[in-house]
Amino acid sequence: MIAILVAIIVVPGPDAFADDAGWYTGFNVGQSRAKIDDARIAGGLLGDGFTTTSIDNDDRHFGFKAFGGYEFNRYFALESGYFDLGKFGFTADTLPAGSLRGDIKVKGANFDAVGSVPIGDKFSLFARAGLNYADSKDTFAGTGSVTVIDRAPHKWAANYKFGFGAEYDFTRSVGMRIEGERYRIDDAVGNKGDIDLYSAGLVFRFGRAEPPPVARAVVPEPVAAPVAEPPPPPPPPPPPPPPVRKRVSFSADSLFDFGKETVRPAGKRALDTFAAELRGAQFEVISVTGHTDRIGSHAYNMKLSERRAESVKSYLVESAGFPPDKVIARGADGDDPVTKPDECPGEKRTPKLIDCLQPDRRVDVEVVGSRLQAAPNN
């Protein structure tokens, strides 16, 4: 630890850090943790003729400290303060039947040398080493077969301490510390042990004003000669018109026989008329969708609607000469009916239900393009 502090203290001369010298004070709060020697407790009881069956430790408590010091520069300071490490204890159950309860309270004063390593203007790491002069107050109580002769031993003793931490300065006058420290303590009955304090707190420095702003020469910017403004850019071209859609629905009963996918002569004439209306038009895609009614299974209706759509596509490609890559065919089963649910009640296949569901059996042909009107013949 001494070697670490010496390495930290080797810094440039004091003139370089005269503005950082001064007094400071602060406080930390946190958790203290004691190392309770269960083996020594059990050995002491065994020497008095007792066998230890169990030991329950209370080895953590609230701890705090208040401190003040003088900082010679950013790298070295001397610090003293008051600390209270809290209360710790144990309960040992024994045979013959009985128990021993022991508690210790530790508080005192310390004097440390503190070495720091700045990392930037606001953050620093530090290590400390020094002496603590602690007051250890013990209380013991026995039950059953266990009796205690000296119930409240008390002792002041000096021991070493050391620690490490980090500090962040919010301003040149106020900072925050986080650190861990180890205190070597006499327990007032002839034994030594360690208590660790993990804490965070604030530090306040006196006489540290914020540095004055650095004066900077203002160099006037050269004035550029006026430049003629360029002509405004031409307006952007108008957006293309939205695609035009045309949708025609053909009754499946006019195109096909019931339950069939072969296009009837009457259906071919209707498709010829539709194709003649598109001759010379500019279109991007023709979507052919076959629909069935709800009669029958889903798998059967899906296959039938797909075959009917493919039949219409094939006729338009072969007879009207439409490009096959611009004609898309698909089946839709009965998932998009024209009739309403309450218009055609029933599920059993009857002539009345078949006739009622006739609007649902259809083939929809939708054309999407920029111009769907046929070009006039000259």
Closest of 334, 312, 298, 214 to residue 263, by C-alpha: 312
Judged against a pLDDT cut of 80, whether residue 309 lies above it is answered with yes
Cβ pair 32, 196 in contact under 8 A? yes
Judged against a pLDDT cut of 70, whether residue 301 lies above it is answered with yes
Which residue is it, tokens 């769907």? 372
How many CB atoms are closer than 10 A to CB 36? Answer: 18
pLDDT at position 166 is: 97
d(CA 326, CA 150): 105
Confidence of residue 215 (pLDDT cuts 50, 70, 90): low
Helix (H) or strand (E) holding 71: strand 60-73
pLDDT at position 213 is: 67
- The residue-averaged pLDDT of 331-356 equals 80
Helix (H) or strand (E) holding 86: strand 76-95
Per DSSP, helices labelled H in the chain are 2-9, 38-47, 252-255, 265-278, 298-320, 351-356
Could you report how far apart the first and last alpha carbons of the chain are, in Å? Answer: 106
Confidence of residue 2 (pLDDT cuts 50, 70, 90): very low
DSSP string, 207-247: S-PPPPPPP---PPPPPPPP-PPPPPPPPPPPPPPPPEEEE
pLDDT at position 106 is: 96
Confidence of residue 46 (pLDDT cuts 50, 70, 90): very high
